[in-house]
């Protein structure tokens, strides 16, 4: 059943969410010989020379950071996986930008890299309570924090971001742009962050208009798919929309072409 579910969702990582509060079960996972550790440093992760995600033993991972407070990611093909924050060693040449190299991993390895990046980044940024400023302890195998002063409990957050393929009504042209982050020849669809109090549909219309001057067809926004985008803490939601291709382009300062 698990394999069928994985095939249906395209996600081989079993997050074992129900076991996070069971310290005994987590310790048992950590002591297994097939347990492995992914090491993250902000938006970077440790990769093997051939481009695969590096998965270290507990002893090897301890050189990079505190394995005792490693985050339990779940299991992949039955083997337990943990994520370690590289607080001790970040100069290793094997660290690569997950945003750039993750897409070249297998689907499930990329899921692991993205989950590890999201949770380690959150752990690093959530040491103090956002309500009262008090110090927070880590619980639920790295998936929750509790403020020692006001007792507020906080969890990792994913801020919504959107990306949209805008095509003409005949669906034989697509709106592409180049940001200064990309080299010449690399054009992408348009993306942006959803503002507080805004719907995804309104965000798509606003971002496309702001960046290109193009008004999309009202009611044409259709959901496609989503993926974690922990740079630093988003979930990227993908849409399609149509627009009249006769409109004049007015490029935002953010775009080169
Ligand atoms: Zn607090």
Q: Going from the N-terminus, what domains does the chain have, and what CATH number goes with each?
A: 2-125 (3.90.79), 159-243 (3.90.79.10)
pLDDT confidence tier of residue 181, bands split at 50, 70 and 90: confident
Question: Of the candidates 132, 15, 148, 131, which has an alpha carbon nearest to the alpha carbon of residue 82?
Answer: 15
Q: What is the pLDDT of residues 94-148, one digit of tens each?
A: 999 998 899 899 999 999 999 999 999 999 999 999 999 999 999 999 999 999 9
Ligand 1 centre distance from Cα of residue 76 (Å): 35
Ligand 1 centre distance from Cα of residue 130 (Å): 7
Ligand 1 centre distance from Cα of residue 195 (Å): 26
In this predicted structure, what is the pLDDT of residue 11?
62
pLDDT confidence tier of residue 7, bands split at 50, 70 and 90: very low
In this predicted structure, what is the pLDDT of residue 2?
47
Q: Is the pLDDT of residue 155 over 80?
A: yes
Ligand 1 centre distance from Cα of residue 129 (Å): 5
Ligand 1 centre distance from Cα of residue 234 (Å): 24
pLDDT confidence tier of residue 256, bands split at 50, 70 and 90: confident
Q: What is the pLDDT of residues 184-241, one digit of tens each?
A: 888 999 999 999 999 999 999 999 999 999 999 989 999 999 999 999 999 999 999 9
Q: Is the pLDDT of residue 249 over 70?
A: yes
3-state secondary structure the chain: CHHHHHHHHCCCEECCHHHCCCHHHHHHHHHCCCCEEEEEECCEEEECCCCCECCECHHHHCCCCCHHHCEEEEEECCEEEEEEECCCCCCCCCEEEHHHHHHHCCHHHHHHHHHHHHHHHHHHHCCECCCCCCEEEEEHHHCEEEECCCCCEECCCCEEEEEEEEEECCCCCECCECCCCCCCCCCECEEEECCCCCCHHHHHHHHHHHHHCCCECCCCCEEEEEEEECCCCEEEEEEEEEECCCCCCCCCCCCCC
Ligand 1 centre distance from Cα of residue 141 (Å): 20
In this predicted structure, what is the pLDDT of residue 217?
95
């Amino acid at each position: 059943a698990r394999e069928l579910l994985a095939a249906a969702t395209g996600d081989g990582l079993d997050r074992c969410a129900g076991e996070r509060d069971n310290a005994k079960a987590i310790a048992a996972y950590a002591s297994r010989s097939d347990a492995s550790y992914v090491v993250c440093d902000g938006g970077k992760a440790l990769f093997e020379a051939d481009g695969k995600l590096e998965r270290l033993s507990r002893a090897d991972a301890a050189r990079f950071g505190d394995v005792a407070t490693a985050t339990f990611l779940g299991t992949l093909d039955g083997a337990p996986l943990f994520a370690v924050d590289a607080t001790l060693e970040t100069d290793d040449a094997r660290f690569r930008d997950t945003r750039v190299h993750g897409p070249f991993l297998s689907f499930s390895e990329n899921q692991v890299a993205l989950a590890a990046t999201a949770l380690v980044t959150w752990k690093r940024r959530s040491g103090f309570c956002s309500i009262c400023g008090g110090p927070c302890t880590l619980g639920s195998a790295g998936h929750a924090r509790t403020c020692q002063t006001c007792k507020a409990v906080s969890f990792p957050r994913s801020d919504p971001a959107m990306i949209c393929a805008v095509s003409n009504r005949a669906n034989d042209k697509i709106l592409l742009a180049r940001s200064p982050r990309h080299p010449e020849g690399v054009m992408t669809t348009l993306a942006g962050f959803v503002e507080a109090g805004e719907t995804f549909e309104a965000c798509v219309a606003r971002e496309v208009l702001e960046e290109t001057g193009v008004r999309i067809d009202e009611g044409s926004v259709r959901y496609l798919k989503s993926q974690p985008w922990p740079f630093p803490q988003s979930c990227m939601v993908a849409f399609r929309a149509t627009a009249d291709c006769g409109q004049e382009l007015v490029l935002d300062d953010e775009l080169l072409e």
